[in-house]
Copies of this chain bind each other. A is one copy, B any other.
Amino acid sequence: MTALNSPLALKLGAFVALSNDEMSALDRLHARRKLFPPGRDMVHQGQVNQSAYILASGWVCSYKLLSGGARQIVDFQIPGDFLGLRSVLFRTADHNIEPVTKVEASEVLAIDLLDTFSRTPRLATAVLWAASRDEAMVVEHLVGIGRRDAKERTAHFLLELGSRLKLVGLGSAQGYACPLSQYMLADALGLSAVHVNRVLRELREDGLVTFQNGHVVIHDIDRLMVLADFDKSYLDHDGPLLK
């Protein structure tokens, strides 16, 4: 895969028109490919001096565990996303990262990243944009768990995922492939798996979305967006620092 159609390039390209130089700088970041099997944590809480990764293919999730054994998934990462950017800047990781599927990721050393940023500052801005978008997603997630009921929350989640996947060429307004189990959905949405199941059924019976067999099919995006109170502006901030 060349930089041109890599998920990361697609994502950043939605924000900055990338020059050839910038493209090849991105390419160079993809030098150290690594593979991770699903299930075994890539990073866990308290681990020190972790590298960052750029996800090339597959899905991962970041989560925290409570002493009682409960798990809260903070976010899923999909191709084109950075993982553990914060764990590089700070010595220790404050959450766990687990591959949901087989994962292909490029390791990025702190030095290389900083080096790339100083040579191609527009890339730095673009990556900062991506990081801020991630932060905005966490905030929106918080709002959803705090103040939306299970149905709205689930609908919102599925719409957000769709929107993110579309940006990296992995989905359309009609639907997308989704390797998550209902258990993972539950841990992300702050619900029980049983209840997620019922909510998904309702959404299906209402003719809004179908979540089945690893595929999300969106039947009526307009009604779904109304139900979820979905305003995608938090996903595509304008880029101000860029002239």
Contacts and interface: CB of A to CB of B under 8 A. Distances in A.
A173 interface: no
Nearest to A135: B135
Q: Which of A66, A67, A136, A143 has the most CB of B within 10 A?
A: A143
A90 B142 contact: no
Please report whether the interface of chain A is mostly helix, strand, loop or mixed according to DSSP.
Answer: mixed
A74 B240 CA distance: 24
A95 B143 CA distance: 11
Contacts of A17: none
A142 B190 CA distance: 9
Report the contact-size class of chain A (Cβ under 8 Å from the partner). 35 or more
Nearest to A91: B240
Contacts of A72: 142-143, 146-147
Interface of A: 46, 49, 64, 66-68, 70-72, 74, 86, 89-92, 94-95, 128-129, 132, 135-136, 138-143, 145-148, 189-190, 229, 233-234, 237-241
Given A49-B240, A145-B145, 14 more contacts: A66-B143, A66-B229, A68-B229, A72-B142, A74-B139, A86-B135, A89-B241, A90-B238, A92-B233, A94-B139, A95-B139, A141-B142, A146-B189, A147-B190
